[in-house]
Amino acid sequence: MGKKTAITSALFQREFLSVFIVVVNVLSWYFPLYILFESVLGEFQMGSTLLLVAFGVQFAAAICSAIIGTALVKRFPSRDAFLSVWMFVGIIASVLLVTLETFNVTYILLVSFLVGFSLGLGFPSCLAYFGDYSNVENRGRLAGITIFASNLCVLVIGIVLSFSTLVVGALILAVWRGLGLSLFLLTKSKQEHHKENVIEVSYKSVLRERTFLLYLVPWIMFCLINFLERPVVESFFGEEFSLFMTIAELGIGGFVALLGGWFADSVGRKRIIIVGFVALGIGFAILGLFQDITEFWYLYLVMDGVAWGIFLLMFYLVVWSELAGNRNKGKYYLIGLVPFLTASYIQVLFTPYAKLVEVSAAFSLASFFLFIAVLPLLYAPETMPQKQIELKRLKKFADDAKKAREKYESKGKG
């Protein structure tokens, strides 16, 4: 009961509630926005080159604005003020989707730029905000609750958008972003995180850190494998099952994030990440061996959902914060986001050729490289302090001993 009280009190403290709101809002706003934007471009039946340019502009805008935003946040009176401006830009980007009904190449590229800009500008600072206001003792559980809430909101908004026109969908996303901004302003902490305690680092020094690279390399491999395999998987399963898989994995990933966060705070982060790689590797191996048996499709679906729940939990919210320590977390999160954004654009480049790939070989190779990706993690140190793990283990042992004694005493009295 004490553990539940501790995590609940941490979640609903004013200092963390605003963090929870801003992270859930951006995750549940951008992914539906991206899908809506993608569907709009699909309706225009644009040429493949123009389509690649549009998504390329969005990708470049997201990366460049993230770099700018990480430096720009220090020039604002507070990080809260910077995040508020960033969320307002998101409202504008959502509203502008309404105007895409009139096909104009130049204007589409402009909106594409703004969509990428509205994500990248404050995303690293937003995630660093989470890292600064969560403690190592409960960061996993708080991250799990945050991912669960985000997935639930994405699912609800996605279902609503599927029954909406472009105009209605864009306005829904604008209102959702605006609601997030309003709640953030109402709940934001009155005490800004102490900037004087933050050590500035260069991107070069971050990339030279051995521990950081031992976690970054597996994450890069996962992103590349996942986004290259996704078009192959969707082509193999067909549109109907792929849609069902997307919906099901949101639910599975959310629940896995909840459980994974709890276990990550108990046994450490590295073991949970390895479980994610092994689960997805097994999923691809099974799909490669038994691709004609429908029942195994559902097993792959579960494994993929488990992996996504773990990786969103760890590589979006937990690991980079702990590797950064008291250094500038925004730069760590930014570098951690680049593989995801880059691989998502590579998927756009690769999708037209997905049907040419031999399915069985693709799944087998994916399984092989996922198991290879685990190797750097075997040499990586645990990001959660060993002292915290031992304290939790001793506390659990003491609780179990107390329960055993009470049970023995109750039997003795009986």
The string of pLDDT tens digits covering residues 46-89 is 667 788 888 899 999 999 999 999 999 989 988 899 999 999 99
Q: What is the pLDDT of residue 243?
A: 86
Nearest to 314 by CA among 217, 219, 227: 219
Q: What is the DSSP letter of 327?
A: B
Give the mean model confidence (pLDDT) for residues 139-156: 94
Region of poorest pLDDT, from 22-36, 178-192, 323-337: 178-192
**Spatial distance between the Cα atoms of 68 and 331, rounded to a whole number of angstroms:** 11
Q: Which residues pair with 199 in a beta bridge?
A: 327
Task: Note every long-range contact of 87-91, with CB atoms under 8 Å and residues 24 or more positions apart, other chains counting.
Answer: 87/22, 87/25, 87/26, 87/122, 87/177, 87/180, 87/181, 87/184, 88/181, 89/114, 89/117, 89/118, 89/121, 90/26, 90/29, 90/30, 90/118, 90/119, 90/177, 91/174, 91/177, 91/178, 91/181
Topology annotation, domain 205-404: Growth Hormone; Chain: A; (1.20.1250)
Q: Is the pLDDT of residue 2 over 50?
A: no
| Single-letter amino acid, residue 11 | L
Q: What is the pLDDT of residue 402?
A: 56
Q: Quick one: pLDDT band at residue 1, thresholds 50, 70, 90?
A: very low
Give the mean model confidence (pLDDT) for residues 381-396: 65
The string of pLDDT tens digits covering residues 267-314 is 889 999 999 999 999 999 988 888 888 888 999 999 999 999 999 999
Residues of each domain in the chain carrying CATH 1.20.1250.20: 25-189, 205-404
- Position with higher pLDDT, 390 vs 243: 243
Q: What is the pLDDT of residue 94?
A: 92
State what percent of residues in the chain have pLDDT above 70: 86
The string of pLDDT tens digits covering residues 193-236 is 555 577 888 999 999 999 999 999 999 999 999 999 899 988 88
Q: Is the pLDDT of residue 405 over 80?
A: no
Region of poorest pLDDT, from 61-75, 339-353, 396-410: 396-410
Q: What is the pLDDT of residue 133?
A: 86
**Spatial distance between the Cα atoms of 98 and 169, rounded to a whole number of angstroms:** 8
Give the mean model confidence (pLDDT) for residues 83-108: 86
State what percent of residues in the chain have pLDDT above 90: 52
Q: Quick one: pLDDT band at residue 114, thresholds 50, 70, 90?
A: very high
Tell me the two tokens of residue 346. 């590579």
Question: Which residues, in sequence order, are CB contacts of 85 under 8 Å at separation 6+?
Answer: 76, 122
CATH number for 25-189 (one of 2.60.40.10, 1.20.1250.20, 3.40.50.1000, 3.40.50.2000): it is 1.20.1250.20
The angle that helices 269-289 and 294-311 make with each other, rounded to 10 degrees, is: 160
- Position with higher pLDDT, 100 vs 375: 375
Nearest to 221 by CA among 347, 379, 63, 374: 374
Q: What is the pLDDT of residue 3?
A: 47
**In contact, 332 and 321? CB cutoff 8 Å:** yes
Q: What is the pLDDT of residue 13?
A: 62
For the chain, the straight-line distance linking the first and the last C-alpha, in angstroms and rounded, comes to 26
Average model confidence (pLDDT) for the chain? 86
Q: Quick one: pLDDT band at residue 140, thresholds 50, 70, 90?
A: very high
Give the mean model confidence (pLDDT) for residues 125-129: 92
**Spatial distance between the Cα atoms of 251 and 331, rounded to a whole number of angstroms:** 30
Q: Quick one: pLDDT band at residue 361, thresholds 50, 70, 90?
A: confident
